[in-house]
A and B are shown apart, each in its own frame.
Chain A
């Protein structure tokens, strides 16, 4: 709270200290929304610029981290809403690595998965591409709830949505994601 007050009164070093403390968290959080480093960095910069102008409204009731996370959520959602959604992903759009990864997953559905950094990157890339075809709110709820095991309550707190809205949004988002992947797998099977 002291730091926030000092930064609000124009103390640049106090604001730099806030950035030093919280930028890793803001970056981690913005990385849920974007897969390109430059976009994550743009979002984080926007978050801190907004935070600086709104420091006066930070009353210190909650944590600074929580306050910044909420600003990050809104900023990233707005950025996503402002950008064009990617068209539907088809099997022919898949890279060879992505195609292999999908085959492996289907083959190892019941068995133990082999995990490697390279495979993880391929999976994360593919997830980013599939998520990019979905509405921004779907992307948020899926990444948080299914990717990071966040609870309905946590998502509601961060987004300002009601818990029932979060549940409905998650249900619809899962359906859309599943349909997109199912279509991809179906076309892939046909293609193979």
Chain B
């Protein structure tokens, strides 16, 4: 017991809440603090801390009469904001979807309609000046007499 009393009591007061100290603990503390100045000031501080905390814990606020109304209003605002952002998301998703549909439609037009027009273009371009000059199969389609009449027919008519 004497050995216990001789030990500093700081650990004892830090291990247990002040109100939880037993009578034995308190008498040990009293004996020790009578001689040990540093432990006495630690004990005073622990005691005062405990008193302050007790007073602090005894205080509390009650809800104001408008509390429920305030929370419900905030809740409604939040829900409205959530549905608005959901709507915004839906609208932007819709815009994205329609632009994707438009892109697909354009690609389909390019895939199926353009080759057909290219074919007709190539049919017309068989008689283009470049094709004629390069003799790109045009001779097979137009006979010599047709060419001669085309070239000189007009001239002969002028001479006549």
Contact = CB atoms under 8 A, between A and B. Distances in A.
B62 to A, nearest CB: 6
Nearest to A39: B61
A138 to B, nearest CB: 11
A48 B71 contact: yes
B51 A27 contact: no
A41 B44 contact: no
**Chain B at the A interface: SS class:** helix
Interface string B36-65: 000001101111111111111111111110
Nearest to B55: A123
Given A19-B68, A182-B42, A127 B60 contact: no
B54 A27 contact: no
A4 B93 CA distance: 34
Interface string A115-151: 0000011011011101100000000001101111100
B160 interface: no
A28 interface: yes
Contact of A181 (B49, B54, B61): B49
Interface stretch (A60-68, A75-83, A102-110, A156-164): A102-110
B56 A127 contact: yes
Interface stretch (B12-20, B117-125, B145-153): B12-20
Contact of B67 (A44, A130, A143): A44
Interface stretch (B72-80, B84-92, B106-114): B72-80
A90 interface: no
B70 interface: yes
Given A27-B62, A109-B44, A186-B41, A148 B13 contact: no
B53 A127 contact: yes
Contact of A45 (B45, B52, B53, B74): B74
Residue from the set B54, B68, B71 with the largest chain A CB neighbour count within 10 Å: B71
Contact of B45 (A16, A35, A131, A181): A181
B75 to A, nearest CB: 6
Contact of A178 (B45, B57, B60, B78): B45
A178 B18 CA distance: 11
A45 B44 contact: no
Interface in A27-86: 27-28, 30-32, 35, 37, 40-41, 44-45, 48-49, 52
A15 B74 CA distance: 13
Given A24-B62, A24-B63, A149-B19, A143 B56 contact: yes
Nearest to A144: B57
A27 B63 contact: yes
A178 B63 contact: no
Given A16-B72, A31-B59, A182-B45, 14 more contacts: A27-B60, A27-B61, A28-B61, A45-B67, A45-B70, A45-B74, A49-B75, A52-B75, A109-B47, A147-B56, A175-B14, A179-B45, A181-B48, A186-B41
Interface of A: 12, 15-16, 19-20, 23-24, 27-28, 30-32, 35, 37, 40-41, 44-45, 48-49, 52, 102, 105-106, 109, 113, 120-121, 123-124, 126-128, 130-131, 142-143, 145-149, 170-171, 174-175, 177-179, 181-182, 185-186
